[in-house]
């Protein structure tokens, strides 16, 4: 896992975060359309939505929001602990993370267009996502090991 993201990546993610959030619903809708082509992932969310009474739409919004806070994650410890808990409850595994990235990044490009969502912008978002994913994966694996 990387110690930290580069200042360039942080600057790009922060600069493009507001545009992504403005188009959040559209990005989310497209992301889930791609992600739920995998029935095993769709089932995880159906169950989670039933259990919590919430729509899984929060996931994409959370990823965008947390990526914008990549440079001050220590302030988000409580929120991260909650995510880890939800993920452990719903059985999220390390190999799910690339699938979410593969659904999210093309959705960003489709909605913002390639003039805004350039290769450089998408690479920065991919890096920020991976950085967060590594933190969550580490904590989730520790929680699974403890429960076993
Ligand atoms: C960096 C990547 C990710 C972030 C930042 C993230 C964040 C979150 C957040 C904030 C929640 C809501 C927690 C709460 O109830 O307060 C959540 C729930 C959830 N996440 Fe993740 N997540 C990520 C990756 C994933 C992956 C890879 C999967 C697997 C497909 C996944 C599946 C779920 C499920 C099933 C829920 C419960 C949804 C519900 O309550 O309806 N997440 N996630």
Q: Judge if the beta carbon of residue 117 lies within 6 A of ligand 1.
A: no
User: What pLDDT, on the 0 to 100 scale, is given for residue 52?
Assistant: 64
Low-confidence ranges of the chain (pLDDT < 50): 1
Domains by residue range for the chain, with CATH: 7-147 (1.10.490.10)
**Paired tokens of 72:** 């001050």
CA dist 117 and 89 (Å) reads 34
Which phi and psi (to 5°) does residue 37 adopt? Answer: -65, -25
Please answer whether residues 97 and 133 qualify as being in contact, where contact means their C-beta atoms are separated by less than 8 angstroms.
Answer: yes
The CA distance from 45 to 90, in Å, is: 8
pLDDT of the residue at 101 = 96
User: Which residue's CA lies nearest to atom 3 of ligand 1?
Assistant: 63
Kindly report, residue by residue over 119-136, the tens digit of the pLDDT. Answer: 999 999 999 999 999 999
What pLDDT is recorded for position 7? Answer: 93
Q: Which residue owns the Cα nearest ligand 1 atom 25?
A: 97
What's the farthest any 2 CA atoms get from each other in the chain? 48
For ligand 1, mutation pick of 24, 70, 86 (most atoms within 8 Å of CB): 86
pLDDT for residue 38: 94
pLDDT at 126 (0 to 100):
95
- Residue 24 confidence (pLDDT): 83
């Amino acid at each position: 896992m990387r110690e930290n993201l580069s200042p360039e990546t942080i600057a790009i993610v922060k600069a493009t975060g507001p545009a992504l959030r403005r188009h959040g619903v559209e990005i989310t809708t497209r992301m889930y359309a791609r992600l739920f082509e995998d029935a095993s992932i769709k089932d995880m969310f159906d169950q989670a939505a039933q259990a919590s009474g919430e729509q899984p739409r929060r996931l994409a919004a959370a990823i965008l929001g947390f990526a914008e806070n990549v440079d001050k994650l220590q302030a988000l410890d409580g929120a991260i602990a909650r995510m880890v808990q939800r993920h452990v409850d719903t059985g999220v595994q390390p190999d799910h993370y690339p699938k979410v990235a593969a659904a999210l990044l093309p959705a960003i490009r489709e909605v913002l267009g390639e003039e805004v969502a350039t290769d450089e912008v998408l690479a920065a978002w991919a890096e920020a996502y991976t950085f967060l994913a590594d933190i969550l994966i580490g904590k989730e694996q520790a929680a699974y090991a403890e429960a076993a």
